Amino acid sequence: MNRPSLAALFKLPERIGWRDHAIGASLALVYATWLGATARSLGFPRDEGVYFRAGTDYVGWLRLLFERGQDALKQGAIDGAFSYNHEHPVLMKTLFGVSWWFLHQQWHVFSDASTAYRLPAMFMAGGALWTTYLFGARAFTRRAGLIAAALLGLMPRIFFHSHLACFDVPIMSMWILCIYVHWRAQETRSLGWAVATGLIYGLALATKHNAWFLPAVLVPHAFFVQRREILRALRAGRVSIPASLVAMVLIGPIVFLALWPYLWNDTLARLQWYVDFHLHHEYYNIEFLGRNYFGPPSPKSYVPVMVLATVPTVTLVLFGVGGADRAVVAVRRLKAWGAGVIERSRAKTNGRPGGPAEEHAPRDRRETDLLLALSIAVAVGPFFLPKTPIFGATKHWLPAYPALALFAGHGFDRIALAMRRALPELAATRARWAEGALLVSVLAAPLAVTVHSHPFGLSTYVPLVGGTAGGATLGLNRQFWGYTTEDAATEYLNPKAPRGASVFLDDTTWDAWAHMQEEGRVRSDLRGAGAPHEAQLALVQHELHMSEVDYSIWTALGTVNPVYVVAHDGVPIVSIYRKP
């Protein structure tokens, strides 16, 4: 009896199935573990302190609901818990709070409260890789899916934001998951996948307001995929709407409202406030090409420049290769469709029956290319508008990056196949080694840049623009949110600050400072100060609009010379002044 070889035991079947979910889950677990291992060296940005507190309030309400039932449903109890930070939906903040309550307060899995708060977002980041792998494996090949997931995780900005108890990476994860289940619904035309689309869309709405743009991706795609059925129904006097879209309309808003108790009272007024808040969002400072922007119009070059400067260049090259290949296919389809139209017109003129217009075209009935292209366009499109605030830098269009990575994974596939064709006589073993070398050459640079970026993810730029130093020279923002006080504490304040010294915190919030002291990241004897003249030590987180802070410190402390500068690749990130 012949036993199967070791290679045969590990050979994946042609059909995508549970083994691929195991691969995706492994990718998610490895990435989340990496994030968890590096989380303590990353300070607390301004928004995290707000979401820590909100999560604590929300889990307090959940405990009240389980302990006292009807009392928790009174408007006073709901508003008392959910009025704080009601400009954002509650799904992730609730998960932050639940994770903190069980993993830190009750079971003591994590000694740091912040790690427990951050864990749900880390797993959401891993989930984005899982979904991207599955999408790529089904749409292209397993290799394309694997490369796409790896390239997505190895973007320095995504790695940075994946650590945080914020919403930017979670909405990226929910965005690609919603697109994936919608795509499966178009492929299978099953009720189960249609209902799943509605449920996931509702969860996306409950994650962040970016989800309100998803219909601009899914509606035109669904109508284009099912255009023949829709036209046939119209000719028969009926209206046919794709089931996944019906589910989004019926289920999505119900999930959104059900998960957000704050909207259960004065619903219309509170919804109107929520919409108005984001339609008329205030501007914050951001530096771009040496200019400080604090209001409209936003520069139209912002998105392309920041993408070029922050996404690893090899990822963009592969995206170009994959996107160009799919564009060629689209052009061929368009030509075939045009030829079919002409042929049918001639046949009609000559009294002969004509065939379908797209009969001769290579066709993906799921219209994957259109879906991915729409995903990118809709995610970044608002940032080309002059009145869209750009204060979040790249974090606000992270939902575009999974689709970008999927095209890049397909681009790697095309290059690997071209290499095989160029080396037809290469033995099978050597061919595998050659593909392995190609894989390493593609992933090595993104891995190196991402590892090197931590914990200065917002300061890091890719070698194409000269790295961190090149970004500073170009006048690109070095940071925001004041999170780098952690590095100032590690490198100078903890070992060298006088006992009981007062410290001006600049852009760091009181909540962030308190959390750092609670977790022993900053010495407990140091006292925060709200103004330079109240402090013995003063910090400046270097951003263009912080220049006035430098002048205030020089005047208040009587010195222009910092005693220490936290730097990344020679670029000043935080300067520390000490009163003589």
Per-residue pLDDT of the chain (580 residues; tens, 9 = 90+): 455 555 555 678 888 999 999 999 999 999 999 999 999 999 999 999 999 999 999 999 999 999 998 999 999 999 999 999 999 999 999 999 999 999 999 999 999 999 999 999 999 999 999 999 999 999 999 999 999 999 999 999 999 999 999 999 999 999 999 999 999 999 999 999 999 999 999 999 999 999 999 999 999 999 999 999 999 999 999 999 999 999 999 999 999 999 999 999 999 999 999 999 999 888 999 999 999 999 899 999 999 999 999 999 999 999 999 999 999 999 998 888 888 788 877 777 776 655 554 444 467 889 999 999 999 999 999 999 999 999 889 999 999 999 999 999 999 999 999 998 888 877 777 878 888 999 999 999 999 999 999 999 999 999 999 999 999 999 999 999 899 999 999 999 999 999 999 999 999 999 999 999 999 999 999 999 999 999 999 999 999 999 899 999 999 999 999 999 999 999 999 999 999 9
Nearest to 399 by CA among 171, 81, 209: 171
pTM value? 0.95
Distance from C-alpha of 359 to C-alpha of 355, rounded to nearest angstrom: 7
pLDDT reported for residue 352:
61
Please answer whether residues 90 and 126 qualify as being in contact, where contact means their C-beta atoms are separated by less than 8 angstroms. Answer: no
Among candidate residues 155, 557, 558, the one with its CA nearest the CA of residue 395: 155
The answer to whether 146 touches 438, Cβ cutoff 8 Å, is: no
For residue 446, the surrounding DSSP H or E stretch is helix 428-453
Query: Helix, strand or coil for residue 261?
Result: helix
pLDDT, position 359: 45
What pLDDT was estimated at residue 2?
57
Phi-psi group of 361: left, alpha or beta (phi > 0 → left; psi -120 to 50 → alpha; rest → beta)? beta
What DSSP letter does each residue of 198-239 carry, written as one string? Answer: HHHHHHHHTT-GGGGGTHHHHHHHHHHHTHHHHHHHHHTT--
Contact 51, 93 (CB under 8 A): yes
pLDDT score for 428: 74
Return the amino acid letter for 242: P
Sign of CA dihedral 118, 120, 126, 127: negative
Three-state secondary structure call for residue 170: helix
Strands (E), 38-174: none
pLDDT at position 281 is: 87
Q: From the CB of residue 391, how many other CB atoms can be counted at a distance below 10 Å?
A: 17
Six token digits for residue 562 = 């910092």
Find out whether 153 and 443 touch, Cβ atoms under 8 Å.
no
pLDDT at position 357, please?
A: 47
